[in-house]
Structure 1
Amino acid sequence: MERFTISLSDELATDFDQWIEARGYSNRSEAIRDLLRKEISTKSADQDQTIYSVATFSFVYNHHERNLAERVTTLQHEVHDLVVSSTHVHLDHDDCLETLFLRGLTQQIRNFAQKLSVETGIRHSSLNLIPVKVAALHFAHHAHFHPHS
């Protein structure tokens, strides 16, 4: 393990200690390690350097939109290897929230989320990608690599 020292202003150190306490870290080192891992994995995902990911893709839509539910279901079936699970919440008389749990090749997840987010009737969407290595090994051995027709 490599050690290094950093200098912080008193104000930043106090703010950081409050941040650490609020999140339940037992020490600064644990917090710094988590911050670094998150920043590095986010940068990798943003630069398309991450091959495999797990993700949530959430979207709000008007369920009265003509054929939207059918289009959403069809798109999910086209990438059935990516979609692990979905949840559906009725927000009000018109709007629903759906969250898809995804795993697979990062670029395929991005492409699917983009394709779904531009469907007419989908009002808001958000993709949360989490790069993974363990899932990559499992995915590589169990995924069905075939084009959909």
Structure 2
Amino acid sequence: MQRITISIDDQLAEMLDQMVADRGYHSRSEAMRDMARDAIERWRQDNSLSDHCVANLSYVVDRRVRSLPQRLADLQHAHHDLVAASTLVRLDHDHSLESVMLKGPTAQVRAFADQVRAERGVRFGTVNLLDVEPGDNHAQADAHDHHGHAHLSPRSR
């Protein structure tokens, strides 16, 4: 394990200590390691060169925006090859949280996510992307036939 020393201002240190206490970390170092892992994962997703992915796109919809729910439904239907599933949770009379599971070519998934997040009335859009490798490899000798589809295994580093 390597030791890294950082300097932060007093206010940031107080907030870090509060987070350490609230989340039950045993030390600042444990919290900093988790934050570094999260930041590296976000950086990796933003700079992924993988050809295929699975992803979760989540966003809040303001249904008061004229025809937004219909536009989003039409967009999902137009990209039915990418959309594996979607779930809608009504938050109040005007807002819903939608989560769309996607799979396919990474560039197309990102473009779809960007298009949805750019819609007027869509807020808090976040995409979590997992690089995958399509394939039919099996460790066991009695592997089954995939009938034209491929497994999407998490990409090894």
Same fold (TM over 0.5): yes
- Post-superposition offset of 1:76: 1.2
Q: 2:127 maps to which residue?
A: 129
Q: Distance in 2 between matches of 1:126 and 1:9?
A: 29
Give the % identical residues.
25
- Post-superposition offset of 1:112: 1.3
- Structure 2 CA distance for partners of 1:76 and 1:25, relative to 1, 3 Å: same
- Post-superposition offset of 1:20: 0.8
- Post-superposition offset of 1:90: 6.2
Q: 2:24 maps to which residue?
A: 24
In the TM superposition, what are the counterparts of 1:91-110 in structure 2 within 5 Å?
91-92=92-93, 95-104=94-103, 105-110=105-110
Count of aligned pairs: 133
1:59-96, CA deviations, whole angstroms, 9 ceiling, x for partnerless residues?
Answer: 32336835x4443222212333334322141632xx34
Q: Distance in 1 between matches of 2:98 and 2:69?
A: 14
- Post-superposition offset of 1:5: 4.1
1:101-142, CA deviations, whole angstroms, 9 ceiling, x for partnerless residues?
Answer: 3233443333113323445xx413332122435xx24x6634
- Structure 2 CA distance for partners of 1:72 and 1:131, relative to 1, 3 Å: closer
Q: 1:147 maps to which residue?
A: none
Identify, as 1 or 2, the structure richer in helix: 1
Q: Distance in 2 between matches of 1:97 and 1:84?
A: 16
> Does 2:108 correspond to 1:116?
no
- Structure 2 CA distance for partners of 1:5 and 1:87, relative to 1, 3 Å: same
TM-score by length of 2: 0.61
Q: Distance in 1 between matches of 2:77 and 2:85?
A: 11
Is the contact between residue 54 and residue 132 of structure 1 (CA under 8 Å) also seen in structure 2?
yes
TM-score by length of 1: 0.64
In the TM superposition, what are the counterparts of 1:1-149 in structure 2 within 5 Å?
2-6=1-5, 8=7, 11=10, 13-46=13-46, 48-49=47-48, 51=50, 52=53, 54-62=55-63, 65-66=66-67, 68-80=68-80, 81-89=82-90, 91-92=92-93, 95-104=94-103, 105-119=105-119, 122-133=120-131, 136-137=132-133, 141-142=150-151
Q: Which has the higher contact order (CA 8 A, sep 6+)?
A: 1
Structure 1 spans left out of the alignment, 5+ residues:
144-149
